[in-house]
A and B are shown apart, each in its own frame.
Chain A
């Protein structure tokens, strides 16, 4: 049924349709509305056979999910940013134990400096922990991916993060088709665990594993993610058959067939990029887009196939590995490793800490790639004047003060208080 609904609410309804059995989460902006929605559904009796637990920290949240999942229940939690870091130990634990927990990550920047707005640094921080990671472009896809996620996780016995841009998706009200319970039941069977804590058939889970077996355990996790490369496509195909729309999959392209320049991006920014591509196409520029949905497993082969033969690739990403550059750009480089005549890859870091990514800036960026290729990382809409002032200040004064506060003061028009008037 079509609804005009807040993204968080759409996700909550989709998750509810998946018949979760244990939901446990700790509030953090911007995921709160999802969990509140689910809590209401449980409390009112709308969502039956489900326990909703208010935990005291994110570490507890994922730990409760671990216990529930190991005991055979379909378990769900949600977090973002600082919360994801706070549960980091449990994140690795869940994947190492092979528990099919589904977790929404309302992508938000990680502090310091503390920032509640959207970027992908949280997902990136846990990208190597052994979870699958799928990124939603729209709230429709956000709802749909959760349904696919339960099935995917349970088939592989591996946890999964559904990444949705904080505020941009979670707090936007837009049209979403919420499927019926019958349709979801037909697509998603009940959880049949590969391992389960059961008094009638006792097993020990989580014992120490020594050097002679650890590599094999890790390899099998990696192997399963390789299986996921095909399974993700298969499940998206089944989804289309059951629900009648395209959603998920490893990646999709937009106007890419004859494109000389391909943009690669994840999440909601793809929508804005599509508008820019249409405008540039109208000007005769052969530009197209690759929307990457699956970041883990990373679809090296599939991406290579699409990118090979192009002149330029521009990677637009909302994260920065300090000291290295853009993670997505690095991954794209991986897909083009050892490829003869590979396109020039341009790395652009944009939207950090929620800075809006605008059409005018994207126009400039894509056109620049065509005429003035760059090496290294380009920061979209960087305020170079403020950077220059801060660098100058820091060189002059040892006790230069906290960087963030200095920049904020300059932005607001006043010089940092402890300095004499600007030079």
Chain B
């Protein structure tokens, strides 16, 4: 175990504990502890919701919104797109939200949040901040127009995308965030190229960066401290901000419920999910891979990639996925190199 005791500002958390792959709060100083560790945590999203066992989105949303609530002194209004999060948090006639929350439509969360932010300014309450949130489908596909419009106007909205890489709520259909080769209900593991085809898909974080907005970050439920830090940073900025959180979905990915955080970590460590930050169009830093693993380690526990391990053609595509991971590592500088600070 490697223990550094530098001050909070420069402390690098290099804990690596066998077994659970998590870093416990008890090993960290008070000021660095996750918000969720406190009994005073606000529970913006309280218990009783109907998320699946092991739902990455519930975990990510809880952390993100509690942090935002804390960072703003309780002054947030959330706008939710249609999707898993909206459905499992408001099972009629209950709601598990303890913050002001509105669900309008599938594709307009960003625009509705723009309206909320404008209303707060008009009423002289600019300290009340708008947060829009949705899944990958509601963000990268049907919500793309409104999102781009919000970015372009630099509206004071933080948009959080919970990316589980498919339309999960409606039965695991493919979205433009679905990775190549993944099996979904609309990209079945059939024919000459089973699963989602290569050469499709879009990276919303990359597109967000291209809009030149004040802050873009990717995050993962595998590093909740990092996620909280990014939410705090985002809430300290005014203007359009985008946070893209990788959230494994045991049901849709065909993985076991207790593997959610482990898989999220493997996605980072193999390079397929780069964790980085950007400001005004330029990447400002990335979270280094601690111990690189081959993509197989990440893909094997997910039944949605099972067909890649069952044939030569599949194994050939594994190589292509590895190539994507390698390119990410290169582009975002994900590996520590000699002479790095």
Contact = CB atoms under 8 A, between A and B. Distances in A.
Q: Do A and B come from one complex?
A: yes
Interface of A: 21-22, 24, 49-51, 53-57, 59-61, 63-73, 75, 89-90, 93, 97, 197-199, 201-210, 213
Contacts of B105: 63, 89-90, 93
Interface string B84-100: 00110011110101111
A198 B117 CA distance: 12
Interface of B: 74-77, 79-80, 86-87, 90-93, 95, 97-105, 107-108, 111-123, 128, 130, 145-146, 148-149, 152-153, 155
Contacts of A75: 115, 119
B92 A209 contact: yes
Nearest to A56: B149
B145 A57 contact: yes
B93 A73 contact: no
Given A57-B149, A210-B92, A202 B97 contact: yes
Contact of A60 (B91, B103, B149): B149
13 contacts: A51-B121, A53-B118, A55-B111, A56-B148, A59-B111, A59-B145, A64-B118, A67-B116, A70-B115, A72-B119, A93-B104, A93-B105, A204-B95
Contact of A71 (B77, B107, B111): B77
B104 A90 contact: yes
Contacts of A208: 87, 90-92
A197 B115 contact: no
Contacts of A68: 115-116, 118-119, 122
Contacts of A22: 115, 118-119, 122
Contacts of A57: 145-146, 149
B99 A199 contact: yes
Nearest to B80: A206
Contacts of B104: 63, 66-67, 90, 93, 97, 206
A55 B112 CA distance: 11
Nearest to B73: A199
A21 B123 contact: yes
Contacts of A73: 115, 118-119, 122-123
A66 B76 contact: no
Given A56-B148, A93-B105, A206-B103, A66 B118 contact: no
B93 A213 contact: yes
Given A63-B111, A69-B119, A204-B101, 14 more contacts: A21-B123, A51-B121, A67-B102, A67-B111, A67-B113, A67-B115, A70-B115, A70-B116, A73-B118, A73-B119, A197-B102, A203-B101, A204-B90, A204-B103
Given A93-B105, A97-B104, A199-B76, A63 B119 contact: no
A357 to B, nearest CB: 38
Contact of A53 (B77, B99, B108, B153): B153
Contacts of B87: 208
Contacts of B77: 71, 197, 199
B198 to A, nearest CB: 31
Contacts of B76: 199
A66 B109 CA distance: 10
